[in-house]
A and B are shown apart, each in its own frame.
Chain A
Amino acid sequence: MTDIALRAGRTPRVRRGALTRGRGLAGLVLVGAVIAAGVLAPLLAPYAPQQQIPGANLLGPSGRHLFGTDEVNRDVFSRVLYGLRIDLGICLVAVPCGALVGGLAGLLASRTAVADVVAQRVFDVLLAFPPIILGIAIAAVTGVGALPVICVVVGAEVPLFGRLVRTSVLKVRELPYVDAAETMGASWPWVLRKHVVPNILDALIVQLAISASGAVFIDSAMNFIGIGVRPPTPSLGGVLAAAMGQLGTNTLYAVGPLLFIVVLVLGFQLIAQALLASRRGDA
């Protein structure tokens, strides 16, 4: 048994190849394509998102209107592209914020016992509210808009990153090489900079990919039930919700936003899985 165990005992680390083949590449392509579509929306969209086109009421998909038109004569494809920009923007602000706040809280928690207890209880409380329900609570105070969405995503990410950083730091500190450095006089900032941060970075990157996919989900869910971005500003969730009312008349209205949400969430998931698999060394 020893022989096999020794050979299998590789150090977990993300290898660079993880995103250039297989699942990782697929994920990267999917996410990349969607982001490009969002960034290039002003070039790609044939109409303005709010533009009402005379006579084009609930049309099916066609060359002129890729995803058809909605109940107030707007081009669904253009609305989806512009909605994408807003959704991506929200995630781009919220996920790094949540990661930063959570990471710092986790770091603090790993330093002193008091900070640890406080941080852990804060994480517990945040986790006690499912994101959608937290969103409802926050929307009650702030009113609907992008702000509650950002708050919810941050609120959902903080405990995840906090706990991750806390346990990783505690684990790294136990390692003999860190002990050796400290015994020979290395200070905490030194250990943090030279040993802890480089060694937990992998785990953080994986968590970022998972969080990005979660953020897209939360964001579009909140827009879907109407406590996010205020109409007529387009968002993927919002367009989808509007389509729900027209399922009988324009069936394919819902397909466009649906597709974009799935592709984005799936893409981030694939990236996360590829990174995880390469960390475990089986990809």
Chain B
Amino acid sequence: MTSYLLRRLPSLAVVLAVSSVLVFGLLRLVPGDPATTLAGSDATPDTIAAIRHQLGLDQPVLSQYAHWLTGLVTFDLGRSYIIGGGIGPLIGGALGNTLLLTASALLLAVLTALVLGPLWASARRPWLDHLLTGVNTLAIAVPTFVLGVALALLFGVVVPVLPAGGVPRGGLLADPGITAQYLLMPAVCLGLPVGAVLTRYLAESLRSELAQPYVVTALAAGVPRRRVLLRHALRNVLPTSLTVLGLQTGALLGGAVLVEFTFSWPGLGMLIERAITGRDYPVVQVLLMLSVTVFVVLQLLTDAAHALLDPRIRLGGAR
């Protein structure tokens, strides 16, 4: 199994390395000199030169890259041009909010899939199958932000039972009940497409699993249908489902940007949006690298979980 994971490492390392070059190069490609932007229109050449020196922009490109990379690895993330302050604390604050949001969304998605997936796979009545297919298609098809707007419209304005956006005044940790109210709509919004994709995958793979000979073997030997579905078959589709979940979790990062924007949720998505409109490139760079790193780590975790759950990989030597 270790060798299986080790074989995956080089490609992931390549992804990280190439991405870091791309993300770093981004700042170089941006039209205009950041120092000029920063200094404002009426700055003297001396001021600009000073800023350039301060930002390290007068160094050779390669050493700038090395410096930047070292900073990333040692969590010395530098300072923000525009928003102000250290990038570390800036991200730290937003990261917590985003984690809370994505974790809740993921939890909702996984729970939905685990309940509805097997139900759908074993649906004997055509109307139930049609209903689930319809709802599922809609849930996959409706874009996150569209759903967000619709939800905000419905429960924030038309039937105002939930806050249409933002976070509680006292902060997220003050009152879990109120936090849950603010969290509910964004989390549902973010989790729904993921849950829908996962449910569909689970239902389809369970269904094809139920056509496998080993299922007939177990049924023919008298093992109850329910147990064959929920224990034998589910256990078999778990490794690949985890891979799907891993990919979907990666996609959550993109979704989070939209959901946070829609519900004014002060997380990384809002931060990156602010940074981009404010042309605060160091922040953008760090956030991009963060996103890629999360993706790569997720891939690695998914592979590890997959390998752990599949004895043919874990123990090797498949014939």
Q: Which of B137-152 contact A (CB under 8 A)?
A: 137-138, 140-146, 149-150, 152
B291 & A133 in contact (Cβ 8 Å cutoff): yes
Of the candidate stretches B10-18, B57-65, B84-92, B224-232, the one touching chain A is: B10-18
Give the chain B neighbours of A247 by CB distance below 8 A: 152-153, 156-157, 164
Judge if B213 is at the interface, Cβ distance under 8 Å: yes
* Size category, B interface: 35 or more
B141 & A266 in contact (Cβ 8 Å cutoff): yes
B14 & A244 in contact (Cβ 8 Å cutoff): no
Contact of B137 among A132, A143, A225, A269 (CB under 8 A): A269
A125 & B261 in contact (Cβ 8 Å cutoff): no
Judge if A217 is at the interface, Cβ distance under 8 Å: yes
Q: How far is the CA of A136 from the CA of B284 in the complex (A)?
A: 9
Closest to B261 in A: A225
Judge if A84 is at the interface, Cβ distance under 8 Å: no
Closest to A270 in B: B137
Judge if A59 is at the interface, Cβ distance under 8 Å: no
Q: How far is the CA of A130 from the CA of B22 in the complex (A)?
A: 15
Closest to A268 in B: B141
A266 & B138 in contact (Cβ 8 Å cutoff): yes
A258 & B296 in contact (Cβ 8 Å cutoff): no
Judge if B3 is at the interface, Cβ distance under 8 Å: no
Q: Which of A109-146 contact B (CB under 8 A)?
A: 120-121, 124-125, 127-133, 136-137, 139-141, 143
B276 & A140 in contact (Cβ 8 Å cutoff): yes
Judge if A6 is at the interface, Cβ distance under 8 Å: no
Q: How far is the CA of A89 from the CA of B211 in the complex (A)?
A: 44
Judge if A254 is at the interface, Cβ distance under 8 Å: yes
Shortest C-beta distance, B164 to chain A (Å), equals 7
Judge if B250 is at the interface, Cβ distance under 8 Å: yes
Closest 8 CB pairs between A and B? A130-B254, A132-B254, A266-B141, A269-B141, A217-B143, A128-B295, A141-B29, A124-B15
Closest to B16 in A: A128
B145 & A221 in contact (Cβ 8 Å cutoff): yes
Closest to A247 in B: B157
Judge if B292 is at the interface, Cβ distance under 8 Å: yes
Q: How far is the CA of A246 from the CA of B33 in the complex (A)?
A: 37
Shortest C-beta distance, A277 to chain B (Å), equals 10
B26 & A141 in contact (Cβ 8 Å cutoff): yes
Using A130-B251, A136-B276, A258-B146 as known contacts, list a sample of 19 further A-B pairs with CB atoms less than 8 Å apart, ordered by residue number in A: A121-B14, A125-B15, A128-B295, A133-B254, A133-B291, A140-B281, A141-B29, A141-B30, A213-B141, A221-B258, A224-B261, A226-B273, A240-B146, A244-B149, A247-B153, A247-B156, A254-B149, A265-B141, A273-B137
Give the chain A neighbours of B281 by CB distance below 8 A: 140
Judge if A18 is at the interface, Cβ distance under 8 Å: no
Shortest C-beta distance, A276 to chain B (Å), equals 10
Closest to A236 in B: B146
Judge if A227 is at the interface, Cβ distance under 8 Å: yes
Interface centre among A120, A127, A213, by most B CB within 10 Å? A127
Shortest C-beta distance, A176 to chain B (Å), equals 23
Interface centre among A121, A130, A261, A262, by most B CB within 10 Å? A130
Q: How far is the CA of A269 from the CA of B277 in the complex (A)?
A: 33
Q: Which of B286-312 contact A (CB under 8 A)?
A: 288, 291-292, 295-296
Interface majority SS (helix, strand, loop, mixed), chain A: helix
Contact of A129 with B137 at beta-carbon distance under 8 Å, contacts A221-B143, A258-B149 already known: no
Q: Which of B194-234 contact A (CB under 8 A)?
A: 213, 216
Judge if A78 is at the interface, Cβ distance under 8 Å: no
Judge if A1 is at the interface, Cβ distance under 8 Å: yes
Can you show 30 pairs from A to B with CB atoms below 8 A apart?
Answer: A1-B216, A124-B12, A124-B15, A125-B14, A130-B255, A132-B255, A136-B257, A136-B284, A140-B279, A141-B26, A217-B143, A220-B145, A221-B143, A221-B145, A221-B258, A225-B258, A226-B277, A240-B145, A240-B146, A244-B149, A247-B157, A251-B153, A251-B157, A255-B153, A261-B146, A262-B141, A262-B143, A265-B141, A266-B138, A270-B137
Judge if A248 is at the interface, Cβ distance under 8 Å: yes
Q: Which of B264-287 contact A (CB under 8 A)?
A: 272-273, 276-277, 279, 281, 284
Give the chain A neighbours of B153 by CB distance below 8 A: 247, 251, 254-255
B137 & A266 in contact (Cβ 8 Å cutoff): yes
Give the chain A neighbours of B284 by CB distance below 8 A: 136-137, 140
Give the chain B neighbours of A270 by CB distance below 8 A: 137, 141
What sequence of 0s and 1s flags, for each residue 35-68 of chain A, a beta carbon within 8 Å of any chain B beta carbon? 0000000000000000000000000000000000
A248 & B157 in contact (Cβ 8 Å cutoff): yes
Closest to A273 in B: B137
Judge if B158 is at the interface, Cβ distance under 8 Å: yes
Judge if B114 is at the interface, Cβ distance under 8 Å: no
Give the chain A neighbours of B29 by CB distance below 8 A: 141
Q: Which of A215-238 contact B (CB under 8 A)?
A: 217, 220-221, 224-227, 237
Q: How far is the CA of A225 from the CA of B12 in the complex (A)?
A: 30
